[in-house]
Amino acid sequence: MTWSAGLQPWLRPYAEALVSYGGSNVTVSSVYRSYSKQLELRNRWEAYRAQGYTSQEIGERFGLWTPALPGRSKHQQGRAFDVSGPKEWLTWLGAVWKSWGGRWWESDPVHFEA
């Protein structure tokens, strides 16, 4: 089973093409998430916030880029995937993704959604 099986079928070819552009510089780190997985990520993020970390610090140190509330994440709908890699690669892939009509934000550079 390839990583893209966690995405809706119509999205798979675009996601696979994008990730292939990153070659060995990037890896897919998260695709489909259940409600409980999303809740767990959100709770971890909230705990870091309670310790005084900013959203940016939590993203950079712990790889948690402001997880959406459970039920509001595109990961739960098979419409999002996260990619790990150097910031400059993610920024470039984000520009490519947006040129194809996808959604990407500099504030959450690992996250690509449709």
What residues line the site for Zn ion (CB under 5 A)? 80, 82, 111
* Nearer CB in complex with Zn ion: 3/52: 3
Tokens of 99: 């040129």
* Nearer CB in complex with Zn ion: 18/80: 80
CB of 83 to Zn ion, least distance (A): 9
* Nearer CB in complex with Zn ion: 32/53: 32
CB of 80 to Zn ion, least distance (A): 5
71 Cβ neighbours under 8 A, 6+ residues apart: 35, 38
State which residue has the least CB distance to Zn ion: 111
CB 100 within 8 A of CB 14: yes
User: Residue 70 to residues 25, 29, 35, 42, 61: CA-CA distances in angstroms?
Assistant: 30, 19, 6, 8, 22
CB of 51 to Zn ion, least distance (A): 22
